[in-house]
Amino acid sequence: MRIEVENLGKKYAKEWIFRKLDMQFDSQFSYAITGPNGSGKSTLLQTLTGVFLPTEGTVSYFKEDENILEEDFYKHLDIVTPYLELIEEFTLDEFLKFHFKFKRLSEGVSIDDFVQHVYLEKDRDKQLQNFSSGMKQRLKLGLAFYSQSPICFLDEPTSNLDEQGTDWYLAHVKRALDKKLVIISSNQKHEYDFCDKVINIPDFK
């Protein structure tokens, strides 16, 4: 998989958040989108996923040399963001059965394996609304790491994680790098210091 960005720009009202961004994201590499709070990291991430439309320029997805339709972007990606809500009325088991009707687990990984990987095997009958913020974040990340989608977008991935949870994230994201194109939006260096390339948003104002 690869993502090609040409002359990409996004503005709100009369203010450009970023513009004139030309880049290719290749599955052999991992990328970090950096910048201070409010600089537009999350906006760029959401523009790359197709959640936001660009003000100018284009975002194109390719599988090998096949151009993927914009309305099909979602089939090829997983995204973890602070604003992504889980269906909290579901128990963990109910949620996973629902979720994996639309996304496929990594080959060779069962739901039983998955709940062990995210350290939630004792919480399968608990409603998600009763999970701690750290448990929810670990679940969100696990859904991205253990799906067959070839692209993984992570926005502030260690938010709500304690030191042990951060260690869990680092171990699992580095494992995912072998199988996925990983793009991380962050201003916390420990979340992305293993990435191959860095895009600093203030450079594209």
Mean model confidence pLDDT for the chain: 95
Share above pLDDT 90 across residues of the chain, in percent, rounded to a whole number: 91
Residue 47: the pLDDT is 96
Q: Is the pLDDT of residue 173 over 90?
A: yes
Spatial contact of 48 and 3, defined as CB atoms under 8 Å apart: yes
In angstroms, the CA 69 to CA 73 distance is 7
Where do the domains of the chain lie, and which CATH numbers do they carry? Answer: 2-204 (3.40.50.300)
Spatial contact of 83 and 43, defined as CB atoms under 8 Å apart: no
Matching residue, tokens 């926005």: 155
The model's pLDDT over 42-75, given as tens digits with 9 standing for 90+, comes to 999 999 999 999 999 999 999 988 999 999 999 9
In angstroms, the CA 58 to CA 46 distance is 13
Spatial contact of 180 and 148, defined as CB atoms under 8 Å apart: no
In angstroms, the CA 11 to CA 56 distance is 9
Residue 167: the pLDDT is 97
Spatial contact of 119 and 138, defined as CB atoms under 8 Å apart: yes
Confidence class of residue 185 from pLDDT cuts 50, 70 and 90? very high
The model's pLDDT over 9-50, given as tens digits with 9 standing for 90+, comes to 999 988 999 999 999 999 988 999 999 988 899 999 999 999
The model's pLDDT over 81-93, given as tens digits with 9 standing for 90+, comes to 988 899 999 999 9
Q: Average pLDDT of 116-141?
A: 97
Tokens of 127: 């409603």
In angstroms, the CA 172 to CA 161 distance is 14
In angstroms, the CA 41 to CA 192 distance is 13
Return the CA Rg of the chain. Answer: 17
